[in-house]
Structures are given as structure tokens and as C-alpha cells.
Amino acid sequence: SNMGELCVHSVLVTGANRGLGLGFIQHLLWLPKPPQWVFATCRDPKGQRAQVRLGQEAVAVLGNRSTRCQAGEAADPASIKAAAAKVGEHLGGSGLNLLINNAGVVKSNTLDTETLETMTEIYTTNTVGPLLLGQAFLPLLKKAAQGSPGSGLSCSKAAIVNISSIGGSITCLYAWGQLQVPSYRCSKAALNMLTKCQSLAYKEHGILCFALHPGWVQTDLGSTGGNTPPVTVNDSVKGMLKVLSSISEKDTGTFLDWEGKIVPW
């Protein structure tokens, strides 16, 4: 179509059984030039919802391409290593172009009701998960970067996209009145720092890393606390894919939203 469409050989999306993750899978497959490989991971691929949503919608659209709903918690080291090995097998000699760390959880706690358990659980999924995934898929991302011509960084070459949230912005403190959710906010602020660290460490390998705020989206997570968010999954994912197609080396280590605007840290 008009402005640069995202053009990648392979993508992995975590948290793909519903919400934004499922939206990513669908929109990637609807691209004029869809990726040859779309890998999906979700917590419980045997769960009925995952089967229904991924089975009928995503896999039906796939045709001759392949998606795998790989089991495993978003931050379980053994299942992450197994997923990386499996993806590597499918890709053969080529690397992975794009890792979208989308899996995330929220619990609608206030400052008074947070506990050691909720802080730890949310941090483990939202922050440690993307760290471990970056480590596990680094060899495949490096391989993709090496196999891609040109010197600049881009999502078509090799990239880690961490789906963050404006809720983690210390400057904005967005929607504090509606939702305190300190564990979620802390985990996303920490994810933003992880993104910065990854961008610095992985730049020499030709890998672009940035954090992306999808908007406040009408998903199960977005509707926490009984709110009706303003942005649809469809609009958010379309916007994010447009951002992915247009960012370059200067954007590595930044925090952008689904419309391409800079979000303050």
C-alpha cells in the first residue's frame, strides 16, 4: 500500500491466544507480503480459548505458512529455551527477524493491597519474561541481522519490540485515579529500563530494540477495574505495525506509542 509495509521473513509473538497478541498474528497474516513464518506462544495452548481463537482464526488463515502455539509460562526458563530451539529448527539456516514481547499480566491492586506475591508474579511475567526471551532468541536475531543487507537497524532486519505501557511512565502517571496497579506500573517502568539495556547491548549485533505503548486497548487486560478503554485492538495493532515499518536506527532504545509519538519515561 502507500507507506512502507512491514516486510519480514519471520516473527514470534508471545501472549498470542487473545487480545493484542492474537491481533498481531491476524494482522501479520493479512499483510500484502505476510511473513513466511509466524510463531505464536501462549501460556496454555491446550486451553479451550487458545484452541478456539488460534485454531480457527489464525491457523485457518495461515495456508502454507506455519504458526506454533508453544506451551509454557511467559517467564519459565526451560520452556523459553525449548521454544527457541524449536523455532530455530523450523527456520533452518535463517534467523528470526522480529521478537514481539507482548505477554503481560495485571492485577487490579491498590498500593494498600499489593503483596510480595503479586509484586513478584507481575514482575516475573512482565519484566523477567522479556529479559529471558531476549537472551534465548539472541542467536537467532543475530543470525537474521547477519543475513540482512545494509548497515542500518530496522524491524525488517532484526528487532526486539517490548510491549510496554504508558502506565509505566514515571512522568505521566497515566490514569492513577482510575487504576493504581503499582505492581503493573513498576513492572513496565522496569521493562522500559530493560529495553534501554537491550538496545545498548544488542546494537553491535545489528538488533534494534524499543518499547511500544499500544494505547489503552479494549482487551481483558485493558478492561481491568471495569473500565472501557478508548482504543480497539484493530486500530492499535494497525498503528503499531505502521510504527514497526517506519522506525530506524535512531529509534533504538526509545519508548513510542502506537501512533509513533514519543512517550516520556
Query: Would residue 224 count as lying in a domain?
Result: yes
Supply the pTM of this predicted model.
0.90
Predicted confidence at residue 178, as pLDDT, reads 84
Query: Would residue 41 count as lying in a domain?
Result: yes
With left for phi above 0 and alpha for psi between -120 and 50, is residue 21 left, alpha or beta?
Answer: alpha
Between CA 240 and CA 223 the distance in angstroms is 20
Q: What is the mean pLDDT of residues 174-196?
A: 94
Query: Would residue 5 count as lying in a domain?
Result: no
In this structure, of 20-29, 199-208, 223-232, the range with the lowest mean pLDDT score is: 223-232
C-alpha cell at 28: 501479520
Average pLDDT score over the chain: 87
Query: Would residue 191 count as lying in a domain?
Result: yes
Number of domains in the chain: 1
Query: Would residue 171 count as lying in a domain?
Result: yes
DSSP classification of residue 130: H
Predicted confidence at residue 87, as pLDDT, reads 92
Closest CA to 212 of 166, 248, 172: 166
pLDDT of residue 53 exceeding 60: no
Query: Would residue 235 count as lying in a domain?
Result: yes
Closest CA to 207 of 136, 263, 156, 262: 156
Query: Would residue 262 count as lying in a domain?
Result: no
Q: In terms of residue numbers, what domain contains 138?
A: 10-257
Between CA 224 and CA 211 the distance in angstroms is 22
The CATH number that applies at residue 173 is 3.40.50.720
With left for phi above 0 and alpha for psi between -120 and 50, is residue 44 left, alpha or beta?
Answer: beta
pLDDT of residue 1 exceeding 50: no
Own/partner contacts of 72-81, CB < 8 Å, gap of 24 or more, are 72/41, 72/43, 73/43, 73/125, 74/14, 74/15, 74/41, 74/43, 74/103, 74/125, 74/129, 75/124, 75/125, 75/128, 75/129, 75/132, 77/132, 80/129, 80/132, 80/133, 80/136, 81/136
pLDDT of residue 52 exceeding 70: no
pLDDT of residue 78 exceeding 90: no
Query: Would residue 264 count as lying in a domain?
Result: no
